C-alpha cells in the first residue's frame, strides 16, 4: 500500500464542547488508485486532506506513506515531505503573481538540493498539461482553467508519490472541468496516485473509487 491511514481523528474545541471534524477514518490507497471523496461543505473532507498533507496536525491516528510514518512535530521533516513526497493542489488560486508560469512550476524544485534540470522538467510538464506557450506569461494573464493547470504541473515537478487535490474544479465552468478531470485521469494512468476531494458529483465519474464524507465519517460508495 502506498498510503495507509488508520483511525485518523481531528477534534476541535468550540467553547465548552468539542466536536470531531474527522472521526476515526481508515483509508488505504495504492499507486494506481484515483480516489474521490465527496461531501458537503463542512463535512470534514478538506480537513482530512490537509492532515494527509501535514498542514493540520491530527489529534490521534496514524499516517504512513510508502511504509513510513509521516506524522512528525519537526517542521523540517514535514516540510520536506510536503515538497517531495506529495503534490498538493490547494483550493482556489495558489500561483505566485510575482513569478512567471515557468518559475511557478519550477519553484518547489529549488527548496531542497536536487539533481536534474528544473527548467526542462517544468517545460515538459507544461507540455503535458497543455500550456507550453504560456511559460513566460504571468498568472494575471491566465484564465481559471489555465491557472489550475499550472498548479497541477507545479504539484508534479518533484515526481511525488501521490497527488492531493482540494476541490480542483470548484471555480471552473463545466467544459474546463472536463478538461481538468481528463488530465487527472492521464496522470493517474501514468502511475501517480491521486486523492481528490470535491463537492461536485460529476467529477466522481472519473477515478476508480469514491468515498463519502459525512460529519467526519468516511464511507465507501459503490461506483
Partner 1 sequence: MKQKSLSDRRLAINNLKRKIFRTTCLGIVVAMLSFTLFGGSILTASLKNGMSSMKQRFGADLMVVPKGYEAQTEGILLKGEPKYFYFDKSVAEEIAKVEGVELVTSQFFLTSLSAACCSTKVQLIGFNPKTDFVIQPWVSKTYSGAIGDGQLIVGSDIVLENNNTLKFYGQSYPIAAQLEKTSTGLDSSVFMNMDTMQKLFAGAKKVGMYFLDEQKPGSSISTVLVKIDKNYDAEIVAKNIRSTVSKVEVVVPQKMISSIAKNLDSLVIYIQIFSIVLWILAAVILGIVFSVTINERKKEFAVLRILGATRKKLIGILLTESLFISITGGIVGTLIASISIFPFSTYIGDKLQLPYIQPHTSTILEILVLSLLLSIVIGPLTSGYSAIKISRAETYITMREGE
Q: What is the DSSP letter of 54?
A: T
Q: Are 3 and 29 in contact (CB under 8 A)?
A: yes
Region binding partner 1 by CB under 8 A among candidate stretches 2-10, 105-113, 174-182, 198-206: 105-113
Q: Which of residues 159-198 bind partner 1 (CB under 8 A)?
A: none
Binding mask 37-76 for partner 1 (x = CB under 8 A): -------------x--x-xx------------------xx
The total number of residues written for the chain in this structure: 223
Q: Are 15 and 42 in contact (CB under 8 A)?
A: no
153 binding partner 1? (CB under 8 A):
no
Strand partners, 92: none
How far the first Cα of the chain sits from its last, in Å, is 21
Helix ranges restricted to H, the chain: 45-52, 75-84, 101-106, 118-128, 144-156, 174-189
Mapping DSSP to helix (H, G, I), strand (E, B) and coil, where does residue 193 land?
strand
To partner 1, the closest distance from the beta carbon of 75 in angstroms equals 5
Number of Cβ atoms within 10 Å of the Cβ of 42: 11
Per CB under 8 A, the list member of 17, 41, 68, 97 interacting with partner 1 is 97
Cβ proximity to partner 1, 56 vs 161, nearer residue = 56
To partner 1, the closest distance from the beta carbon of 164 in angstroms equals 10
Region binding partner 1 by CB under 8 A among candidate stretches 6-14, 80-88, 141-149, 196-204: 80-88
94 binding partner 1? (CB under 8 A):
yes
Binding stretches for partner 1 (CB under 8 A): 50, 53, 55-56, 75-76, 79-84, 88, 90, 92, 94-99, 102-103, 106-112, 118-119, 154
Amino acid at each position: 500500500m502506498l498510503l495507509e491511514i488508520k483511525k485518523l481523528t481531528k477534534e476541535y474545541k468550540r467553547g465548552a464542547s468539542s466536536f470531531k471534524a474527522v472521526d476515526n477514518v481508515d483509508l488505504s490507497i495504492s499507486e494506481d488508485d484515483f480516489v474521490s471523496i465527496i461531501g458537503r461543505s463542512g463535512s470534514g473532507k478538506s480537513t482530512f486532506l490537509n492532515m494527509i498533507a501535514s498542514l493540520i496536525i491530527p489529534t490521534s491516528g496514524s499516517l504512513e506513506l510508502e511504509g513510513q510514518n509521516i506524522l512528525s512535530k519537526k517542521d523540517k521533516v514535514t516540510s520536506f515531505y510536503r515538497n517531495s513526497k506529495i503534490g498538493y493542489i490547494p483550493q482556489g488560486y495558489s500561483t505566485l503573481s510575482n513569478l512567471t508560469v515557468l518559475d511557478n512550476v519550477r519553484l518547489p524544485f529549488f527548496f531542497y538540493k536536487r539533481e536534474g534540470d528544473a527548467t526542462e522538467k517544468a517545460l515538459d510538464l507544461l507540455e503535458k498539461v497543455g500550456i507550453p506557450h504560456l511559460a513566460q506569461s504571468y498568472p494575471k494573464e491566465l484564465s481559471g482553467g489555465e491557472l489550475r493547470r499550472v498548479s497541477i504541473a507545479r504539484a508534479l515537478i518533484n515526481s511525488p508519490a501521490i497527488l492531493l487535490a482540494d476541490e480542483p474544479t470548484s471555480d471552473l465552468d463545466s467544459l474546463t472541468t472536463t478538461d481538468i478531470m481528463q488530465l487527472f485521469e492521464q496522470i493517474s494512468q501514468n502511475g501517480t496516485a491521486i486523492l481528490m476531494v470535491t463537492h461536485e458529483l460529476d467529477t466522481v465519474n472519473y477515478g476508480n473509487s469514491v468515498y463519502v464524507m459525512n460529519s467526519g465519517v468516511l464511507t465507501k460508495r459503490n461506483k
